[in-house]
Amino acid sequence: MVDGELAAWWGVLGLLVVSGLGALVALLFIAAPFGKFANSAWGPLLDGRLSWGLFEAIPLAAFWTSLLVGVDARSLGGVQWAVAGLFSLHYINRSLVYTVRAPAIAPIPLVVSLAAAAFNSLNGYANGRWVSVFGDGVLKATKPYDPRFLVGLVMFGVGMWINISSDNILFALRRKRTRQQAEAQPQGETQTQGSAEHAADAAPQKGRGYSIPRGGLFELVSCPHYFGEFVEWAGFAIAAASPAGAVFVFFTMANLVPRALKQHAWYRETFGDQYPANRKAVFPYVLCRRRRHCGWWHGWQLYKHRCSFI
């Protein structure tokens, strides 16, 4: 059974790689229609909080089902439980804690929710099965003090901290925007500049109440929450010595790097000269030679925008 399933497992990984490549190409041309880029033209919209909570809970169910089916849980070693705990910690945060703490989550098109649910199901299965079955020998041979495992743990922790701390800054901005909208300022009046505690600059009117995020890694990149996810899942893949984890990192970057480029371009277009000129899209401290018009390929011509990617 395991030998037959192993071929299917590799098939799932291959499907995720191909899907990631397809997503990468598509998302270079179009913005996934949620958040700042929400678009009802993509079909029926679901309640954002409910939809987010559900499709982020799916990988937990898929992971633990695939981890435990046909496996004696008592046979699993400490490193295997630790790796399973990392995966679970992330998705408990994303499906429950994030959903409760977020001041607002914009409606999400049904097609986006279904696509996320499909990926999360396959990804949860692939990673859960690695931990208990296909990576059983590797993980049982891994000691808690092995350098690879420790490096992975540290990377996961740092990435999760970056992700959550960046979310906190964005949450503060959303709460501030909600308060300002409730105060119903006269049209055309400039919004009050945010304090350091709110980590924000006031947005011009064309920004529809949005503000420039300040603090943490927002001083270096426009989307540090995405960068945190890259570091987090790279750490998971290293700690688990997992091909499924490596595919997960690739798929995450294929989806979020194009979105980071678009968010970065949106910030620049919205705030103009107010937006920090040295801020990159998602990767800190990766500099290009010319400050303006890097000419990074976007689709066929990635972005003729000011150093938007790196």
What pLDDT sits at residue 186?
A: 53
Instruction: Identify which of 169, 177, 171, 22 has the alpha carbon closest to the alpha carbon of residue 102.
Output: 171
What pLDDT sits at residue 294?
A: 41
Contact 306, 289 (CB under 8 A): no
Distance in angstroms (rounded) separating the CA atoms of residues 251 and 27: 12
What pLDDT sits at residue 295?
A: 35
pLDDT < 70 stretches in the chain: 1, 3, 180-181, 183-209, 287-310
| Domain residue ranges of the chain, discontinuous segments joined by + | 2-13+45-181+194-274
Pairing of strands 45-46, 212-213: unpaired
What pLDDT sits at residue 126?
A: 98
Amino acid at 276: P
What pLDDT sits at residue 196?
A: 33
Instruction: Identify which of 134, 160, 152, 143 has the alpha carbon closest to the alpha carbon of residue 70.
Output: 134
Instruction: Identify which of 121, 139, 146, 141 has the alpha carbon closest to the alpha carbon of residue 82.
Output: 139
Q: Which residues of 270-309 are buried (b: 16+ CB within 10 A; e: fewer)?
A: bbeeebbeebbbbbeeeebeeeeebebebeeebbebbbbb
Strand blocks (E) in the chain: 45-46, 108-109, 200-201, 212-213
- pLDDT tens per residue across span 61-116: 999 999 999 999 999 999 999 999 999 999 999 999 999 999 989 899 999 999 99
Kindly state the DSSP code that residue 200 receives in the 8-state scheme: E
Distance in angstroms (rounded) separating the CA atoms of residues 241 and 249: 13
Using alpha carbons only, how large is the chain's radius of gyration in Å?
Answer: 21
pTM, two decimals, is 0.84
